Structure formats: structure tokens, C-alpha cells
Amino acid sequence: MVPDSSVFDYFEILEMPELKGVIWLQTVTDALHSKRGWRYYNKLRSLLKDPSHECVLFANEYHVSCYHAREKQTLKKDWEKRIIYAAALWYYKHCGEKIPIIIVADEDSTKRYKVKSKGVYVMTFKEYLNKFYSDLEAAHNSCDFIDEALYEEKLESLEASGINYNKYLPPDILEAGLKSGRYVEGILYVNKHTKMEAFVRVQDTDQSEEDYEILIDGINPRNRALHGDRVAVKMFPESLWKRRMGADHEGYSEYVPTGHVVGITQKHKRDYIVTFPSKEDILYYSRKTKKYLAVPWDYRIPRIRISRKQAEKYQFCRAIIHIDSWDTDSRYPDGHVVGTLGTGGDLEGEMKSLLMEHDISERPFSEAQMGELPVNTAEKPWSVDHEEQDRKDLRKTHLVFTIDPKGCEDVDDALSVRTLSSGNLELGVHIADVTYFVKPKSHLDKEARARATTYYLPDRRYDMLPSVLSSNLCSLLRGVDRYAMSVIWELDMTTYEIKKVWYGRSIIHSTYQLSYEAAQELLDGNLSITGNIEEFQDMEEKEKEDRLQELTWAIEKLADIASHFRAQRGLDGALDLDGIEISVLLDEEKNILDLVPRQQRRIHRMVAECMILANHWVARKIYESFPRQALLRRHPPPRQNLFSELKQSAKAGGFHIDTSSNRALALSLDNAYDVSDPMVNKLLRNMATLAMSNALYFSTGSCREREFHHYGLGLDKYTHFTSPIRRYADIIVHRLLMAAIAEDKTKTELNLLSDRCLEELCDHINERHRAAKLCQRQATELFQCHFFRDKDADRDERCVADGIIYAFRDTAVQLYIPRYGIKGTANLKTKDGCVLHFGANGEKIGWVPGALWRSHKQADCVTSSGQGVTFRIFEHVTVKISVQAQQYHPNSLRLEILSKKPYLDPEARHTPKSSPSPTRELVEENSKENIPEEYRQFQQTKGESLYTLLEEMKNLAIQDISNNL
């Protein structure tokens, strides 16, 4: 072991008698750096006389000076660390490459040398203990204590040592440096897993270059910039570039540019949610300034110094803090309380914290905004203007209907299909004409732009537009006339080839407002569902029969057309991904009744495909008319290293995932299908979804055309046109489409945005959509915790469910619980070295001392007595769910494996039925249960399908070979 001077503090732990057989390699030069070094140097010398330590080696100053003299031309920077590494490498080779050498070093040295040479391993002290002495509880406790003490000592010394951060450069110098290219500009993002690492995403203005990231490694180079700030960065020379942690958890990625912040060009203006500690908690008290350190809800934000008076007043409250300043000689920013949100743990208080954290507006619409709405009262109801020009009237010629979730109020889209006199088909997608009510630069338009989207949370929603529009005048409700923007295609009756397309404003009358469940029943041929469809109530039997036949024909025809276009996109590499979404069922008083994963059915895919078709053709039209002013949506290809866990899990399950292109990924995901457990394919698709990069809105004038491509959908051009009630981007696209089809373009083009303005708008909309998505996910997690919070995890059967292992960690497994749609981690080994122990019946007995061995395929828990249990990838286990309470951050769920056996829900009513991929439907149609009784005597296998027959043949072949050996 070669410790450098940064790990002297931990040497007293290494003197524990349990640590035997360690090879020590210590440079005297480092040992003499401090008084502490002298003390430990003398202790190390005494270890030579201790027979319990097999071998203690020293590389003295003679070794160092000789090596340095030989390599002085190449070792110019960080020479001490390089010499230590070189000495270790020399000893490894000197010992015939049979004795591995471990270097305990700081994090920077670990990153730089971890995977440099075989046989010499570099790790932090924490990693060393975890890997080799995970069962020594006393050593771990001592290490934690020393870590905290050193951290506090460092903070105190930093605050007492004067200026620690560089002053920001003056604005004129920053501007000149950015123009000359000496500095680069981008948004700072802090790694949510480790606060020490951040990066700046730079959007290169040179059309020949790709966007790139600059690593900001450490607190000091970040220079007081916060997550979300737009900063100016000076890049370090290439010799100082570093590696950042890769996604595969097995090493480090390639070297990336590094730099330090020299100025903030635009502050991310926002307040922060914090929690105050108790007066006794010295870890959150600054001795120098006599101020308390409030802990932000967001892990990426540093603690904020607050006056003692305010801190004592708001103890244990969720408070809103505004950051006032951050001096160059201060470790933390200073702030003050501007409001409170209640105590931590209260559902309503936590929801308010979420809204505040993501800057979601709860304010009502102003009088000026509401004054722009049309009059709509019981005495004077609003109605369409039948004489309005340039609108195609579809009310008497088209059967128009909507398909949405139950209780949906903001109905954006409607569908129609009919047979033309020529024999061809006509497919129509009709979208609410929001732009008729929301005029450019109006008060309503400015508010919708600021909100950018409607925020959907489990128990509430915050509309982008007033409910008068979103739930009434714009909503395509049943039985009323509405304005719409329509895209209508003429299709060949057999091949569904598109003959021509029409775009324009229309007037529609929706005849049916169907739920997804009712539409799916009709698609499946279950006509008895009409009793639950309001439109068929009180209808004569003959009329009901005729109308039902007309509606079912339309739904079936739409499903066929959608399948055709989905298959076409599949040839271009479209992915059939699967996210995990949860529906929170509430009673009238908003108590949580249950958590139910949403099921993806064929009717969902049908509606989605029609919307994708409309978005694609509108994108083509507006780009053709405005090549530099169109708002499109692109999906960049994901980074290959993000697929590593997907590949490893699939390989462990016997599947191969090819990620060389979107088409290759789609095909391999289709083939990764286990007939006996369809949930495996669902998990693999979800892992592929998590590896994807985010889709982004962009201005066509700010991006190269080859980057327009949408990776997930397999389309060259795509936009959002179909949800203007809840997305501001769609409103802009509607205006672009109207300008593109207008006869007199001079009037409509006056309302179009310039390339620069559109680019800024896209950045704002992207940021708001990310906030909406993150807030929705965190709100769901919050409701999940509240569902289990008041339940006795040891007695309530709702806290026990079936779980599927889909990945392994160092000391844990990653689990997915289909019953509740929960993904989380369950420990296999504790910090004090105990592993899970199971009885002969597979039931958990408890935690006992032992060891854990893992690979990508399995994890083995072996007790000190030699008993073991193996967990394999995609294995089903029984899991207990409970809540882990947090003081400063939101509560989280805790998962614990109770049994090696799958848990069988007696009712089994909530476990979602995984939809097979289209390429698997043929296999399922030929399964055992679909074989007529008179033919079953001729079947070749007792299994359920052709796949089980192939498995039987493989097993027979293996058995035959074994008999011949």
C-alpha cells in the first residue's frame, strides 16, 4: 500500500489487529511533510518488528531521487504523486507481477491513476475499507468520524484563511473574452450524485462542431456558481484534462476538457427550499460567523448561512430562502428567509415545496388576462360563428370522436376516418384551435408563454390556460361545435399510401367522447360495453345497432391504419420504449386508495400513432415554408456508455442488445422476449428508455439539418402540434402552420418570431418541460411514500409484493415491483459486513456475518459458516416495502427482500399484463391455448409455444452430448 500525505489521518485505523498481511510502501519524503507524518512514520517503523504484519516495504528518498533523476524530463507536474505511482509499479514488476499493489490516495489521484496499469490499484480509503474490510464495523465508524472531522476542519480553515475564491472578471473583459474565444459560455449543471463534480454544457456556434461539455472538478473551480447559472469558463490546457465517472460503474470515461469559472453571465434567479437543523447540531453551525447552515432540499445546492435569530424561529420548517450574496472569503452563501411552507412530512407542505422548488406558478389568472376571454354565461353562451371564412365545415360530413383518459377535461384532439366516393380512405386529425382565442402578444399569450405547459400532478393540475378555455371553449367536448385545426390525408384503400394531404382551419362536432377503456373494448369486439357509453343511452335499438357498427368500423380501420404507419416507422428505426407511469387513485377527500401502474394497450398506440403522423407532416410543412424560423423537436442519439447496464442485464438474461443504431436497438429489444415472463422485456425497454437523451425543442435556424432527426421515433422531422391546450410550443406551431397555408402571407408572417427570439423561447420551453417532468415524478414518489407511511410494514399485506431483480450493485440489487410500479434498491450486505441469510424454504432468517460475491449475472451471499444463497438476474423475489424517514429531504421508500420465492398476490388484480411487441404477436397466436382440441394430439411439445419446443430440443441435445462423453 502506498499512502500519500492526504491519508495520514486514517493510519490509526490501519493499526487495528484485524488488518493483517498488508504490504506497505511508504515514501519517507511524504512521511516528513508534517508532524503528523513523523508520528505515523515512527509507528510504521514499529510495525516492521510486529510478526502479525507479514511484509512492510519502504521506498525511501533514495528510490524517489533515483527514479526522479532518470525520468526528470517527463515528470514535470504532480511529480510526487507520479513518483509514488512509479515506485509502486516498480515494486510490482520487481516481484514478478505476482503481488498486486494498492495505493490509497485522495479522490483526484484515484481518478487519474485508477485504471492506468494492471497490477497497481488506486482507491480512496473509503473504497479500500469497503472492498477488503467491509465487516469491520469499528473501522467504518472510525472512518466516518474522521471524514466528518476532516471536512469540518477543512471548512473552518477555509473560512479562516481569507480569500478562497477568485473574483469574477469585469463584464467588459468577459464579453471580449467570449467573443475572442478565450472563454466559453454555457449552463452549469451539478452532478446530483456527487456535489464535487459539475459540468458546463457548451452549445457551439460553429456549425461544423458538435456541442460539448467542460468538466468543473471540485468546489473551488466552480467559483461560487450555482446549478443553473450561465457561466463563462476558462479551459485548462489538455495536459490537465480529467476523467469523469462513467455510467457503467466499472471505470472512467475518456478524458474530457476541464476548466474553471471566471464569471457568471446570467444568474439562475430563484429561491430555494431549505430545512433548519436543531440548535444542538454543530455540523450545521458556522463557528466563525455564528450563523446556522440551512440545508437545501436540492442536493446540488450548498448549505446557506442564515442568522441565528431566523434559524431558531423556523427550526424543522420547510422555508423559502433567498440568497443575498456570496463573498470570496466565505465557504457558503448568505441568505434570508422570505416565507415558510409548513413542517417537513406534511403532504400539503411537501407539495408546496415541490411547486416552489420547480418554480411552478399557483397564482390565478389576472383580471387583464381574463378580460380577453369571450363572454360565456348561461344567459349568453358562446357559440361558433357559422359564417367565419376560410374554415371547412366538417360537422355533417365526418364522424368525429375523441379518445382520452376517464375524466379528461382538456380534450385537445379528435379523430375521423371515412370512405370517399373514389374508394379511397380519408383520415383526419383535428386539433383544438387555441390560437383563435389566444392572440399573439396578448396578456393571455404572455402568461401561457411564461407557464409553457400544464403541470399534471397526482391530485391536481395547474393549467397553462384559464379553465374557461382549457376545459370548455377550446376543449373538443361531445355534442358541441368547436373550432379546430385539421390535417386530413387521402389514403389508398388497400396500401394506405398517402395520396395527398390538406391542412386548414375547420369546424367540427364530436359525436362520441370515449375513454381508452371503452374504445379498447370496442376494438376487442366487446359490444356489451355500450351500456357504459353515455352517447348510447336512451337510444332506440335499431339506431344503436347502426351507430355502433359505424363507430366500431371507424375504430378498427384507424387501428389498421395506425399499425401500417407504425410498421413504416419501424423500418426507419423507431423504438417501442416503455416508461413506468403510476396512477394514484384518490377518494373524494383526496385520500390515497391505491397505486396502479398504467397499462399500455393497443388503443393507446393507435391514438399516439395518429398524433405522431400529424406532428410529422406539420413539421415538414412549416420547415418547407420557414426553413430558419420553424419550431421542431429533435431527439439526439444517446451516448453509448449509457447503454452499458442495459447490455449487461440483457446478456445475463441470455439476450443480446445491439445499440449501434436505433433500428438495431429496436430489433434486439423485440428479440429479447421471454415467453414465460413478459415482464423481462418490459424491464429491458424501460432500461433503454432511461438511457435515452432528452428530446428538445429547437429553432431550425440554430441547428444543422442533419441534427433534426428524432432518434426514438425514427423520423427526419418532427414537432408538437396536437396539444395546444397544454403546451405553448404547439401554439407557436399552429401559428407557423397558418402562416404556411395562408394565401396572403404578409399578414400572418408579421406574428412570426425571429430565429434568435425563437431559440430563446425554445430554451425556456425546454426548461419548463424538464421541470414539469421532474416535478411529476417527485410528486408521484411523494404519494408513494404517503401511501405506505401509515401502514405497518410487518403486518399489512399491502406492504408485501413481488419484485424482479434487474441489476446488481456493489452491496445491493435493483428491484422493480410491478404491483406498484416502484423501482428501488434492496441491500444484500450491510455496512458492518452482514449478509442476508435464508432458510431451506427460501424464507429470510436474518442478517449474519458473511461475504458477498457478485457479477453481472448473479450475486452470492455466503455466511461465515459457509451457507450461501444466490440471486440471479430477472429472478422474482418477495419484497417488503416501508418508508425511510428523512429530516432535511423528502422521505424515500425502503425495500427489503423477505423470501427467495416469488410473491403471489391472491387477488392478482393489479399486476399489469405486459403488452407483447408486434413481432411477438404471431408467437402468442400459436400458443398452446389457441390450438383446437382435435389437433392437440399432434403437437410436438407439452409447452406453451414454439419457444418452449426449441428449449426442449436444446436440452435434449445437451443431454445427448453428456451421455457420449
User: Among residues 791, 775, 780, which one has the least CA distance to residue 883?
Assistant: 791
User: Among residues 125, 17, 140, 249, which one has the least CA distance to residue 833?
Assistant: 140
Q: Who wins on pLDDT, 720 or 589?
A: 720
SS3 readout for 937-961 = HHCCCCCCCHHHHHHHHHHHHHHHH
Question: What percentage of the chain has pLDDT greater than the value 90?
Answer: 38
How far apart are alpha carbons 703 and 718 in whole angstroms? 14
Q: How far is Cα of residue 893 from the mean position of the Cα atoms in its chain?
A: 18
Q: What is the pLDDT of residues 31-42, one digit of tens each?
A: 334 344 444 444
**What is the pLDDT, as a whole number, of residue 62?**
34
3-state secondary structure of 880: strand
- C-alpha cell, 954: 436444446
Does the pLDDT of residue 57 top 70, yes or no? no
Q: pLDDT band at 149, cuts 50/70/90? A: low
Indicate if the alpha-carbon torsion angle 698, 699, 703, 709 is positive or negative: positive
Q: How far is Cα of residue 756 from the mean position of the Cα atoms in its chain?
A: 29
Between the alpha carbon of residue 521 and those of residues 524, 583, 898, the distances in Å are: 5, 20, 39
3-state secondary structure of 126: helix
Residue carrying the nine cell digits 433534426: 708
- C-alpha cell, 590: 383526496
In this structure, of 19-28, 458-467, 609-618, 759-768, the range with the lowest mean pLDDT score is: 19-28
* pTM of the complete model: 0.76
- Supply the mean pLDDT for the chain: 80
User: Among residues 867, 872, 849, 852, which one has the least CA distance to residue 810?
Assistant: 852
Does the pLDDT of residue 688 top 50, yes or no? yes
Q: pLDDT band at 755, cuts 50/70/90? A: confident
Question: Can you tell me the mean pLDDT for 862-867?
Answer: 85
Q: Which residues fall within 8 angstroms of residue 227, CB to CB, at 6 or more apart?
A: 188, 189, 190, 198, 268, 298, 300, 301
**What is the pLDDT, as a whole number, of residue 78?**
60
How far apart are alpha carbons 151 and 147 in whole angstroms? 6
Element (H, E) at 102: strand 101-104
**Identity (one letter) of the amino acid at 131?**
K
User: Among residues 57, 53, 51, which one has the least CA distance to residue 26?
Assistant: 57
Question: Can you tell me the mean pLDDT for 353-376?
Answer: 90
Does the pLDDT of residue 4 top 60, yes or no? no
Strands across the sheet containing 868-872? 834-838, 844-854, 858-863, 868-872
Q: Who wins on pLDDT, 15 or 276?
A: 276
How far apart are alpha carbons 652 and 684 in whole angstroms? 12
Q: What is the pLDDT of residues 865-878, one digit of tens each?
A: 888 899 999 999 99
170: DSSP letter: P
How far apart are alpha carbons 39 and 214 in whole angstroms? 41
User: Among residues 718, 509, 738, which one has the least CA distance to residue 612?
Assistant: 718
How far apart are alpha carbons 263 and 167 in whole angstroms? 8
Does the pLDDT of residue 571 top 50, yes or no? yes
Neighbouring C-beta atoms of residue 92, cutoff 10 Å: 20
How far apart are alpha carbons 367 and 378 in whole angstroms? 21
Q: pLDDT band at 101, cuts 50/70/90? A: confident
Q: Which residues pair with 306 in a beta bridge?
A: 292
Q: Beta strand pairing status for 55-59 and 23-27?
A: parallel
How far apart are alpha carbons 894 and 824 in whole angstroms? 8
How far apart are alpha carbons 432 and 703 in whole angstroms? 29
Indicate if the alpha-carbon torsion angle 41, 46, 52, 57 is positive or negative: positive
**What is the pLDDT, as a whole number, of residue 412?**
94
How far apart are alpha carbons 719 and 697 in whole angstroms? 8
Q: Which residues fall within 8 angstroms of residue 804, CB to CB, at 6 or more apart?
A: 679, 680, 683, 815, 816, 817, 818, 874, 875, 876, 877
Question: Can you tell me the mean pLDDT for 691-712?
Answer: 92
- C-alpha cell, 305: 448561512
Q: pLDDT band at 192, cuts 50/70/90? A: confident
Question: Can you tell me the mean pLDDT for 364-381?
Answer: 91
3-state secondary structure of 27: strand
Q: Which residues fall within 8 angstroms of residue 196, CB to CB, at 6 or more apart?
A: 107, 217, 218, 219
**What is the pLDDT, as a whole number, of residue 69?**
39
Question: Can you tell me the mean pLDDT for 705-718?
Answer: 94
Q: Beta strand pairing status for 101-104 and 55-59?
A: unpaired
Neighbouring C-beta atoms of residue 185, cutoff 10 Å: 18
Does the pLDDT of residue 71 top 90, yes or no? no
Q: Who wins on pLDDT, 723 or 580?
A: 723
Dihedral Cα 633, 635, 636, 642, nearest 10 deg: 150
Does the pLDDT of residue 957 top 70, yes or no? no
Question: Can you tell me the mean pLDDT for 238-264?
Answer: 70
Q: What is the pLDDT of residues 639-666, one digit of tens each?
A: 888 898 899 899 988 999 999 999 999 9
**What is the pLDDT, as a whole number, of residue 911?**
44
3-state secondary structure of 855: coil
**What is the pLDDT, as a whole number, of residue 481?**
94
Does the pLDDT of residue 309 top 70, yes or no? yes
Give, to the nearest 10 degrees, the angle between helix 644-652 and helix 679-691.
160
The CA-CA-CA angle for residues 721, 726, 727, to 5°, reads: 50
- Do residues 507 and 484 make contact, with C-beta atoms less than 8 angstroms apart? yes
Q: What is the pLDDT of residues 469-527, one digit of tens each?
A: 999 999 999 999 999 999 999 999 999 999 999 999 999 999 999 999 999 999 998 88
**What is the pLDDT, as a whole number, of residue 463?**
94
Question: Can you tell me the mean pLDDT for 218-230?
Answer: 90
Does the pLDDT of residue 941 top 50, yes or no? no
How far apart are alpha carbons 91 and 79 in whole angstroms? 18
Strands (E), 220-333: 230-235, 242-245, 252-256, 259-266, 272-275, 285-286, 291-296, 304-306, 317-325
Question: What percentage of the chain has pLDDT greater than the value 70?
Answer: 76
The CA-CA-CA angle for residues 183, 184, 187, to 5°, reads: 135
Maximum average pLDDT range among 63-67, 625-629, 961-965 = 625-629
**What is the pLDDT, as a whole number, of residue 281?**
64
Q: Who wins on pLDDT, 9 or 248?
A: 9
Between the alpha carbon of residue 133 and those of residues 301, 433, 861, the distances in Å are: 33, 66, 16
SS3 readout for 808-833 = ECCCEEEEEECCCCEEEEEECECCCC
762: DSSP letter: H
Neighbouring C-beta atoms of residue 555, cutoff 10 Å: 21
Q: Who wins on pLDDT, 433 or 32?
A: 433
**What is the pLDDT, as a whole number, of residue 185?**
92
- Do residues 728 and 455 make contact, with C-beta atoms less than 8 angstroms apart? no
In this structure, of 68-82, 241-255, 455-469, 693-707, the range with the lowest mean pLDDT score is: 68-82
- C-alpha cell, 180: 475572442
**What is the pLDDT, as a whole number, of residue 608?**
94
Residue carrying the nine cell digits 358562446: 382
**What is the pLDDT, as a whole number, of residue 115?**
56
**Identity (one letter) of the amino acid at 571?**
L
- C-alpha cell, 597: 401502474
How far apart are alpha carbons 668 and 598 in whole angstroms? 25
**What is the pLDDT, as a whole number, of residue 30?**
40
In this structure, of 354-363, 573-582, 899-908, the range with the lowest mean pLDDT score is: 899-908
Q: Which residues fall within 8 angstroms of residue 36, CB to CB, at 6 or more apart?
A: 8, 9
Q: Which residues fall within 8 angstroms of residue 604, CB to CB, at 6 or more apart?
A: 516
User: How many residues are listed for the chain in this entry?
Assistant: 965
